[in-house]
Amino acid sequence: MRSIILIAPPAAGKGTQSDMLVGKYGFAHISTGDMLREVAKHDESIKSKLENGELISDDIVFSLLRDRLKSTDCKKGFILDGFPRNVNQAIKYDEMIKDLDVTSNVVIFLDVDKELACKRIVGRISCPDCKRVYNDMIPESMPKVSGKCDDCGGILVKRSDDNSETFGKRYDVYYENTAPLINYYEEKGILYKLDSGMSKDVVFSKIEDILANLND
């Protein structure tokens, strides 16, 4: 079972690259953000923290992750999107996977310029029906008809936390809590750094090269 960790600032393309990896390799995609947003539907405390760009406690995150890793679709391998967020979580995760049949653990750092990342966040709009994502601030990602999904015709919507103020908080929190992971994983010799300001296909090709050269 292969563990792939994607770490990055907000809007660096973790979700996009995860989807592409799932499509090619059949790995399970585990997004702690998606798990927390699902819980937030019936937990006002978590909902408030997410909307204000605050981090959720490790106890809650690990409880959700532990249950998720028990699913059968994780047996072949899994991608962690947005987790761990700090060194303490990384250490605890290392302990967790000792009990799993993990044949390799690789960390891919997707770096991105702050200005570009802000545009990706603030301009992000999506279709609630087919889930396709667009961006009304990046020309190549705009829908053909403003506010309307190209694929299914659904009305595009924006998440309440996709604004410049929340982005700024999330970016600052990232550098305070998550950036030290780079040094941690570099020292372990399993970190690969990529510029995610490039097109998604170029980034994916580089990830494919990394995986092809791993020894399971």
Active-site residues, by number, are 14, 85, 124, 159, 170
Helix (H) or strand (E) holding 115: helix 114-122
Instruction: Please tell me whether residue 159 adopts helix, strand or coil conformation.
Output: coil
User: What's the distance, CA 15 to chain centroid?
Assistant: 5
For the chain, strand residue ranges (E) read 2-7, 28-31, 77-81, 104-111, 124-126, 133-135, 191-195
Q: CA 199 to CA 28: how far, in whole Å?
A: 23
Query: What tokens does 24 get?
Result: 């090619």
- Of the candidates 209, 174, 177, 167, which has an alpha carbon nearest to the alpha carbon of residue 192? 209
Structure tokens of 72?
């059968």
Q: How far apart are CA 206 and CA 144, in angstroms?
A: 30
Q: Which of 120, 130, 121, 176 is nearest to 151 (CA)?
A: 130
